[in-house]
Amino acid sequence: MKRLLAFGLAFGLVVAGCGGGGLGGGGGLKIGMVTDIGQLEDKSFNEFSWKGVQDGASAVGGSAKNIVTKDIADYKQNIQSFVDQKYDVIVTVGFLIGTDTLAAAKANPGIQFFGVDQFIPDPIPANYQGLLFNEAQAGYLAGIVAGTITKSSKIGAVGGREDVPPVVNYIKGYENAAKSVKPGVQVLVNYVGDFNAPDKGEASAKTMIGQGADVVFQVAGLTGAGVLRAACNAKIWGIGVDVDQYQSLPDAKACIVTSAEKRLQNATRDAIKRFKDKGKQSGNFTNDATNDGIGYSPIRNLNPVPAGLEDKLKQAIADMKSGKLKPVP
């Protein structure tokens, strides 16, 4: 009992001593990021968005903090915590948190909000900008790779849902690019109608493989994990989406060639810089080749890398930058 009391007393004192302060970051902008559900080091949206926020903070001489979200019900409060702590910029990640971000932006016009992967419907508050990506361009790069490496002249793409525009854009770009590098290539496309069904993705990919496809591109969220699994099991090539899935999906390491990337790290970094340089940001901002907002992940598992592949990709990026190349005419 005595020991217990002593402990309680000591604890109480320390708490009282520390309670007042807090570890605020000197001067400069205070930038907070609220993650999507999951963990920070997810080798995906949360992790790369956070890296960009940190880069942006150091570029503008500010400080960055994050709050990891564990439950959808916590979005509101996590955003509000940064508001209460008088943060200048709040970055939120993922489309699910969009509704709560919009509400917070309306309620706090003095704070700049950025929403990664959030398309904001009109009317858009002056202090809220959605960070979107030109999926067609990223898909185009993936298509160049697929068209170059296919031996059967048949490649596949598995999409989540046909009524989600970004998914369709990815696949259109992919299709056009493949046809441009290998005329006559056959592109098998299937929308499974579900982003959360790896088994459906696997089944769909297996069908394509059965029809002779030797490269498959997944644009289907969790469903895509099944697509890449089927590809690896059949010892054909797979192409990932959004982030470098060689890193984020260990199961697909064996056969993934590249991924059509959204450069999240660049997107959040640049957003913060834009705010510092030009003040309040609004609207839906599209990251594309001109601002290094999209790209492809390092080529892997190809030994040797086909001659000229890297050059073709670099040329395509350059042409997209200059406006010469439109992935989807």
Partner 1 sequence: MIRLRSVARELWQVASIPLLAIVLAFIVAAVVVVISSTFTSTGFDVFLPFGAYASLLAGAFGSGTALSNTLVAAAPLILGGLAVGLGFKAGLFNIGVAGQFLVGAFASAVVGSSLATSPTPVGMPLAVVAGAVAGAAFGFIPGFLKARTGAHEVVTTIMLNNAAVLLLTWAVNDLVRAPGFSFPRTGDIGNSALPILLGRNVHLGIPLAVLTVFAVRWVLDRTTIGFEIRTVGQNPNAARYAGMRPVFITALTMTLSGLLAGLAGAIQMLGVIGFYAPGITASVGFDSIAVALLGRSDPIGILFAAILFGAFRAGAPLMQIETSVPIEVIDIIQALVILFLAADLIVRRVFRVRAAKPVISELATVTQTWAGGTSPAEPS
Residues that bind partner 1 (CB under 8 A): 1, 3-4, 7-8, 11, 14-15, 17-19, 22-23, 32, 37, 39-40, 65-68, 70-74, 76-78, 80-82, 84-85, 95-96, 99, 119, 121, 161, 164-166, 193-196
Of residues 43 and 300, the one with the C-beta less far from partner 1 = 43
Shortest distance, position 120 Cβ to partner 1, whole Å: 10
Q: How far is CA 287 from CA 40, 121, 210, 240, in A?
A: 23, 18, 37, 19
Which of these, 310, 288, 292, lies nearest to 144 by C-alpha position?
Answer: 310
- DSSP code per residue over 8-46: HHHHHHHHHHHHS------SS-EEEEEEEES-S--SSHH
Shortest distance, position 280 Cβ to partner 1, whole Å: 23
Of residues 32 and 293, the one with the C-beta less far from partner 1 = 32
Of residues 86 and 235, the one with the C-beta less far from partner 1 = 86
Residues 6+ apart with CB under 8 A from 307: none
Shortest distance, position 317 Cβ to partner 1, whole Å: 26
What is the distance between the alpha carbons of residues 295 and 234, in angstroms, rounded to a whole number? 27
Of residues 194 and 319, the one with the C-beta less far from partner 1 = 194
Shortest distance, position 99 Cβ to partner 1, whole Å: 7
Shortest distance, position 195 Cβ to partner 1, whole Å: 8
Of residues 118 and 127, the one with the C-beta less far from partner 1 = 118
Q: Are 254 and 13 in contact (CB under 8 A)?
A: no
Q: CA angle, corner 169, sides to 255 and 178, nearest 5?
A: 50
Give counts: helices (H), strands (E), the chain: 11, 12
Of residues 5 and 307, the one with the C-beta less far from partner 1 = 5
Q: Quick check: bond before 250 cis, omega within 30?
A: no
Shortest distance, position 217 Cβ to partner 1, whole Å: 21
**Coil vs helix vs strand at 256:** strand
